[in-house]
Structure 1
Amino acid sequence: MEWQTRFSPLPLSTQDALPELSISLLDNLSMITMVGEDKKSYLHGQATCDVVSLEKDQSTLGAHCDAKGKVWSVFRLFHHHDGYGMIQPKSAVEVELKEIKKYAVFSKVTIEESSDIILGVAGENANAFVSSITKDAGDVCVIQGGTAVKVAENRWLLVVTAEMTQALTTNSQATLTTHELWTRFDIESALPFVAAEAQNEHIPQALNVQALGGISFTKGCYTGQETVARAKYRGTNKRAMYIVKGATTEALGEGAIELERSVGENWRSVGALLTHYQFSDNQAMGLIVLPNNLDDDTLLRLIAQPECEWEIAALPYSLDDE
């Protein structure tokens, strides 16, 4: 459709000002929908978050785990039409759909991938823009053709039809760009990004889900709860997700981007970035799961570009789960 050609990359240096209003086409994300009489009870028994108490005007992060507490998906959950929407990385959806539907045969619930378009609205004029297309207040609003979900101050996800996307982007005054800018915002907010290659690797606390309100420690049983509870009450989790940043000599590109850390005079691999953003002035940033006892000044470097040193940056929130 015509609207798809309107979005283009927006190269930015570390010094460039951000657009006052941007709309990003988030084709790297997708949404699983859940509808049916048992949708609330079924999802409540699968996810780490408290589904029962989620109000119509609220959203929450949550995780879905296997029986051993390893994460299949970290998602943004909200009420959408007559059911729930769960936004997550598109590459994770195939496996997550299979896993989340595993016990659905015993419940009155329909679970499927949505064909809706996902847009990210950001900038100092974002709140005003969303207010102009809805009559609702709150952090989740009904809009024509879909739902608007606030994820941070002046940052909204829109889940809409192709027709609404066409309408929103026709003669728009916003900067229309591809998903990279939104990825940057998510990294700066340290929001977990579990793509296909990171599925079934980490427990929720290693992805900071507890620090972002995505784990309820008072709800009933759910898949993987024993491991998640043990990590909290027995202190068994030894990992956390961090923002890292540094120089590059060439674009990072796609595929696994692995880092190593200094250990005395040697270097030891610490794993791959969960996601990353490349600036136009040979700088980059990303998210990675690291041991949670590293010093703040621990030296890192890119394995593929060993001359490029990186560092751990401050998180925008506390890692306490209280």
Structure 2
Amino acid sequence: MLALSEFVSKHLSATATYPKHDIGVISITGTDAKKFLQGQTTCDINKLSAEAGLYGAICSNKGRIICNFFMLQKDDSILMLMSQDLIASSLTHLKKYAVFFKTDLTDATGMFQITETLSVSHESTKPEQFAEQLPITTDMGSIQLQLLSYPFNIHWHVTQANQTEHQESNPILSGLSLLAARPLIQLEQSENLLPQWINMQTTGGISFTKGCYTGQEIVARMQYRGKSKKQLALATWQGDMDTQQALLDSEGKNLGQVLSVEQIGDDHIAQIILNQDITECSELFLDGAKIHLIELPYQQPFAD
């Protein structure tokens, strides 16, 4: 398995800043906004504040992820940042429940701009797991959300659409953000994945003490009694491959699938979902060629 810090050092020597045009925003307002969201999200909304953001998901009754998001509080509004192609379906789902609360939900994508910054980190210790709360700082109307501090820094800057944009630099490095191993699913993956299959129990995305929410019974059962070993991992290879094909072992057994992939120079970086414990994967092949696993930025989770 490749060392994550060495892989990052190979590519990241200067700060990279670029817009996140693929991210949409849902705004939730009203006196019942937090009460409403507490019954719909895997994260504990009571831990949301102007200084602390959250990572979480909205699930179906079967515990499958409808959408997942980063969340922050801006004045009297709660903002959910998610894949833009999930905004419409997520609003439709949430509004079925919102009618029972004093709250309003709107597509606020056009009101904000999201910029991502990658930078070298001086943090040298890999965490056992990510904290539930994400540090937030606010400066001149710009909200800065820290998504990662080891082995490099990832910040999202959320500003009003009419404010001056951050100057773009080294956008070719944007694919490195996959190495945070904290994915946001897209529309094609909606209602196909359990939160644990993308390691949300390790990346601060699930509270097991907050109480009930839609899908909670299935998510809790998977955590404490489930037998599925599906989990998120990181991989890399060089050369073009058909990422729609299954991941196989040396005997042709199906070991999983590619969730998302980016390219930086000659290297492809992928988030993959394995069907078995990563320690049981001695060799992994995609489209007939061997690929290499990269260690995660947190300790490897176990599904049971």
TM-score range, shorter chain: 0.7 to 0.9
Cα deviation, 1:78-137, whole Å, max 9, x if unaligned, reads: 212312111111122222221122211111111122221110122149xxxxxxxxxxxx
Aligned to 1:7: none
Q: Residues 211 and 320 of structure 1 are in contact (CA less than 8 Å); yes or no, is this contact kept in structure 2?
A: no
**Structure 2: distance between partners of 1:122 and 1:245:** 19
Structure 1 residue 27 corresponds to structure 2 residue 13? no
Aligned to 2:203: 212
Indicate which of 162, 170, 174 corresponds to 1:182: 174
Task: Classify 1:14/1:156 alpha carbon distance in 2 versus 1 (closer, same or farther; 3 Å).
Answer: closer
Task: Classify 1:237/1:268 alpha carbon distance in 2 versus 1 (closer, same or farther; 3 Å).
Answer: closer
Q: Residues 277 and 285 of structure 1 are in contact (CA less than 8 Å); yes or no, is this contact kept in structure 2?
A: yes
**Helix, strand or coil for the counterpart of 2:34?**
helix
Q: Residues 193 and 275 of structure 1 are in contact (CA less than 8 Å); yes or no, is this contact kept in structure 2?
A: no
The alignment yields a C-alpha RMSD, in angstroms, of: 2.7
**Structure 1: distance between partners of 2:162 and 2:34:** 30
**Helix, strand or coil for the counterpart of 2:249?**
strand
- One-letter code of the match for 2:263? Q
Aligned to 1:164: 163
- One-letter code of the match for 2:96? K
**Structure 2: distance between partners of 1:236 and 1:53:** 30
- One-letter code of the match for 1:276? V
**Helix, strand or coil for the counterpart of 2:25?**
strand
Cα deviation, 1:23-70, whole Å, max 9, x if unaligned, reads: 211001112111111000000100000001223211121111000100
**Helix, strand or coil for the counterpart of 1:78?**
strand
Structure 1 residue 257 corresponds to structure 2 residue 263? no
Aligned to 2:140: 144
Q: How does 1:202-281 map to 2 (within 5 A)?
A: 202-249=193-240, 257-262=244-249, 264=251, 266-268=252-254, 270-271=256-257, 273-281=258-266
Cα deviation, 1:191-214, whole Å, max 9, x if unaligned, reads: 123111111011111110010111
Structure 1 residue 194 corresponds to structure 2 residue 185? yes
Question: What TM-score do the two structures reach when normalised by structure 2?
Answer: 0.83
**Helix, strand or coil for the counterpart of 1:194?**
coil
Deviation of the 1:274 alpha carbon = 2.0
- One-letter code of the match for 1:96? S
Flag structure 2 segments of 5+ consecutive residues without an equivalent.
1-6, 122-133
Following TM superposition, where does structure 1 have runs of at least 4 consecutive aligned residues deviating by more than 6 angstroms? none
Q: Residues 63 and 214 of structure 1 are in contact (CA less than 8 Å); yes or no, is this contact kept in structure 2?
A: yes
Identity percentage of aligned residues: 26
Deviation of the 1:76 alpha carbon = 0.9
**Structure 2: distance between partners of 1:206 and 1:76:** 18
**Structure 1: distance between partners of 2:265 and 2:115:** 23
Q: Residues 116 and 156 of structure 2 are in contact (CA less than 8 Å); yes or no, is this contact kept in structure 1?
A: yes
Deviation of the 1:239 alpha carbon = 0.9
Aligned to 1:119: 115
Task: Classify 1:165/1:268 alpha carbon distance in 2 versus 1 (closer, same or farther; 3 Å).
Answer: same
Q: Pick which of 294-303 and 103-112 moved more.
A: 294-303
**Structure 2: distance between partners of 1:259 and 1:208:** 20
**Helix, strand or coil for the counterpart of 1:216?**
coil
Indicate which of 73, 86, 90 corresponds to 1:92: 86
**Structure 1: distance between partners of 2:226 and 2:66:** 22
Q: Residues 243 and 288 of structure 1 are in contact (CA less than 8 Å); yes or no, is this contact kept in structure 2?
A: yes
Cα deviation, 1:139-180, whole Å, max 9, x if unaligned, reads: 2123334422111233211111233234x43xxxx6163xx6
- One-letter code of the match for 1:147? I
Deviation of the 1:313 alpha carbon = 2.2
**Structure 2: distance between partners of 1:85 and 1:20:** 30
Task: Classify 1:232/1:90 alpha carbon distance in 2 versus 1 (closer, same or farther; 3 Å).
Answer: same
Question: What TM-score do the two structures reach when normalised by structure 1?
Answer: 0.78
Task: Classify 1:246/1:40 alpha carbon distance in 2 versus 1 (closer, same or farther; 3 Å).
Answer: same
Aligned to 1:284: 268
